[in-house]
A and B are shown apart, each in its own frame.
Chain A
Amino acid sequence: MRIDPRVAVIGKRLRGVRRIIAVSGSKGGIGKSSVATLLALTLHRLGYQAGLLDLDFASPSTHLILGVGGLLPKEDKGIIPPTVHGIKYLSITFYSGDSPLPLRGGDVSNAMIELLTITRWGTLDFLVVDMPPGLGDATLDAIRLIPRVEFLLITNPSRLVAEAVRRAAVMLQELKIPILGVVENMKRDEAQSAEQLQTVLRVPYLGAIRYDDRFEDALGNAQKLVESDFGRDLEEIVLLAKAFAAPSRGRGRSRAIPATQGTVGGADLSVG
């Protein structure tokens, strides 16, 4: 018979998480990890309980963006993700370190199922998932295994990237997976924009993040990141988009984002 028992508890592990947002895009290097990390930090600063799960096993980078290393989850009937800058955080680098991790599709699925099986996220308003590029095993498994998953698609002004995002959106729509919208990263001027995706795909265009020359310098420093143009643009998108309103506790209704808490330094960004 041979049954994999792990899948049965994934829903239970994520039961206390109200919204699960997979940050995805079909090309590498377009800022998925940066958006995912800043989204988790921003949601925390706005008063939400947020978590970040890095599922990019081939090229994990959220630990570099957050500026953390040498972390290990606590063990307690599974693993408890450490809290970093106020967000619960899990990355394969806790186990693979700085070494390359060459995995074929079946191994990607297995590693992902293992992490989802053993990680106890507890109570969260939002779990942001940094997805690897493309429509491969990790994306298909996220759709198959993660209950209530919603996708946030990242694009940039290039038509090449927009075309890849269009394909991803078509697939998600076909599978009836919710798409929160498209965020355009690295926008340089008004002439070029991926805004037209909105009409082509009937997916909301949530806004643009301007190309930020100083973003590279802010990497590894959470405070600098949220204060950067990148961080401010993303925060504006989060504040304006209804898509990020979390259901209120125990009622299942939407609540407004507590904008009054959205001041820099209003939340604890220390490593805990």
Chain B
Amino acid sequence: MHEWALAEAVISTALNVAKKEGLQRITEIKIVLGELQQIDGEIFRFALTEVMQPQRAMLEGAQINIQEEKASLRCKNCGREWHPKEATDELGEEAAEAIHFVPEVAHVHLRCPKCGSADFEVAGGRGVWIESISGESR
């Protein structure tokens, strides 16, 4: 249920941005979920709806647009860009769970498929971020 914590973060951020930009109402929030963190989209969407409830004045009728981005890792040692599945067919349940909570723990479980290095960066699809917030100005 750690999706709730992230959903709360998204709504808090959207409200902060709306206040800063002088929006009267938020009409759409575009969110991207990175594949690496394996966020459960259904729970996340449900959590968003629940967290939005007390903020009806600002968020009533707001569209929540959730997209996913494939995970992409780039080796700092050899430069190879790769997908986690190239390193391992299936992560164990414990490893997947750990990466779900802290994606950087991928450095424990994944190695570059070309050179075997653990020195890679997450080039894309790490976790949750907001792509855009639309709204009506005062």
Interface residues of A in 7-23 (CB under 8 A from B): 7-9, 12
Q: How many of B's residues come within 8 Å of A, CB to CB?
A: 35
A1 to B131, CA, bound (A): 6
A9 to B108, CA, bound (A): 27
A168 to B33, CA, bound (A): 38
Indicate whether A9 sits within 8 Å of B4 (C-beta atoms), given known contacts A4-B129, A110-B103. no
User: Looking at the complex, which of A46-54, A72-80, A177-185, A264-272 is the stretch in contact with chain B?
Assistant: A72-80
A1 to B13, CA, bound (A): 13
Interface residues of B in 1-55 (CB under 8 A from A): 1-2, 4-6, 8-10, 12-14, 16-17, 47
A8 to B128, CA, bound (A): 13
User: Looking at the complex, which of A29-37, A113-121, A157-165, A231-239 is the stretch in contact with chain B?
Assistant: A113-121
Q: How many of A's residues come within 8 Å of B, CB to CB?
A: 36
- Within 8 Å by CB of B1, from A8, A75, A97, A106, lies A75
Does residue A102 face the partner (Cβ distance < 8 Å to B)?
Answer: yes
Does residue B98 face the partner (Cβ distance < 8 Å to A)?
Answer: yes
Does residue B86 face the partner (Cβ distance < 8 Å to A)?
Answer: no
Residue of B nearest to A79 (CB): B2
- CB-CB < 8 A to A215: which residues of B? none
A77 near B108 (CB under 8 angstroms)? no
A57 to B128, CA, bound (A): 22
- CB-CB < 8 A to A117: which residues of B? 5-6, 9
A95 near B107 (CB under 8 angstroms)? no
The smallest C-beta distance from A125 to any residue of chain B, in angstroms, reads: 23
Does residue A212 face the partner (Cβ distance < 8 Å to B)?
Answer: no
A132 to B5, CA, bound (A): 26
Other than the given A8-B9, A108-B104, 11 more pairs (CB < 8 A) read A1-B132, A2-B129, A2-B130, A5-B9, A5-B129, A77-B2, A77-B47, A100-B108, A106-B121, A118-B2, A118-B6
Q: List 9 A-B contacts (CB under 8 A).
A: A3-B130, A7-B13, A9-B5, A9-B12, A79-B101, A101-B107, A101-B108, A110-B126, A111-B105
A contacts, CB < 8 Å to B = 1-9, 12, 57, 75-79, 92, 95-97, 99-104, 106-108, 110-111, 114-115, 117-118, 120
B contacts, CB < 8 Å to A = 1-2, 4-6, 8-10, 12-14, 16-17, 47, 76, 98, 101-105, 107-108, 118-119, 121-122, 126-133
